[in-house]
Every structure is written in structure tokens, then in C-alpha cells.
Amino acid sequence: MNSALYLLNSIQRWDVLTFRIISSGNTSGTLTGLAKAVSFSGNGYLYPLIPIFLFTFGFSQILEFVQIATIGFAAERSAYSITKNSFKRRRPANVLPNYQSIIQAADEFSFPSGHTSAAFFIVSLLLLLYGPVFMILYLWAGLVALSRLILGVHFPTDLLVGSLMGSSIAYISFRLLF
């Protein structure tokens, strides 16, 4: 077996083992309820409210934020879609025997996590534009990622790549447009 294939198989084994440890598939309880709420907060419905928040609390460069966010999100969503439809990695419930996810995902592929990518994109952009005052939001972005794992719709590497993708595209968008 060549070393690249061995490495990929090792990553897959780690991914499944870590997934099984964190995602119990238990559909009741406080943790599941919190995971559903946090996951919902990463659906994107709240993102249009960010400029209102910035205005309300006296932040400057709101138009620049909207411009970079709009163009950057278009790039992030495109990269996410191309990657997801190129790799076509099946979701845990579709590949793991006797496993059922807590929620039904909107599409059939899991790699990378779109919720995670978008959350890390928006937090990274806020941090780049406004500084460390928004650093705490990385906790929220990390919880969005973790919620997707707890709910059983993503493997850990889906989240890792999603976070790197969102953060990288925010950085590139910021450097190119600001």
C-alpha cells in the first residue's frame, strides 16, 4: 500500500473513531437541544443583521464590511459548493452501519461543512476589520462546528476543512478588497 493511501485510510479511521466518540446519536437531552439551537444560529439567517449590530454599536466602515462580506460570501459559497460536489463524501448516517443522525441535513454530502465554513468566514472577517473585540465569536464558530458533529451530520475533518476554508477566504477577501 502506498504511503498516500495509507495516510488517507489512517485519517478516515481517526475521523470515524472521533465521530463515534462525540456523536452518540442520542436524540434527546439538553446537549442535543443546545446543539440544535447553535446549529440553527449558523444557518445564515442572522448574518444580514450584522451591519445593523455594527451601526447600533457605533462601528465604522460598515459599507466596507457589507461589500467584502457580500463578495467574500459569494466566493466562500462557490468554493464550498465546488468542493462538496467534487469530493462527494457521504454523510455519517449514509456510511456508518446502524447509525442515524439526529437531524436531516439539507444535502447528501458532508465535506466540507458549510455551516462551519460560513461561521468561520464571518467571524474572521469581523476580526480582520474590527480587531480583537470580535475574537470571542470564534467560540461561537467552534460551537457551530461542534454542533454539526454532535447532531451527526459531519465528520471531524469536514469541520476542520470548513473552518480553514471560511477563515482563508475571509483573509483573502479582506486583503484583496480592503
pLDDT at 17 (0 to 100): 87
All three cell numbers of 155:
465528520
Q: Quick check: 23 pLDDT over 80?
A: no
d(Cα 42, Cα 131) in Å, to the nearest integer? 22
d(Cα 136, Cα 169) in Å, to the nearest integer? 20
Q: What is the pTM of this model?
A: 0.92
CA distances 68 to 14, 65, 110, 173, Å, are: 36, 5, 27, 6
pLDDT at 135 (0 to 100): 96
Pair 112, 168: CB distance under 8 Å:
no
159 pLDDT tier (thresholds 50, 70, 90): very high
Which residues face 109 on adjacent strands?
A: 90
pLDDT at 3 (0 to 100): 81
Of the candidates 43, 42, 65, 44, which has an alpha carbon nearest to the alpha carbon of residue 53?
A: 65
Host H or E run for residue 69: helix 62-87
Q: Which residues contact 158 (CB under 8 A, 6 or more apart)?
A: 89, 110, 111, 112, 113, 116, 148
d(Cα 124, Cα 168) in Å, to the nearest integer? 8
Q: What are the tens digits of pLDDT across the range 24-76? A: 666 668 888 899 999 999 999 999 999 999 999 999 999 999 999 999 999 99
Helices (H) and strands (E) in the chain, counts: 8, 0
Q: What are the tens digits of pLDDT across the range 79-132? A: 999 999 999 999 998 988 888 888 888 888 999 999 999 999 999 999 999 999
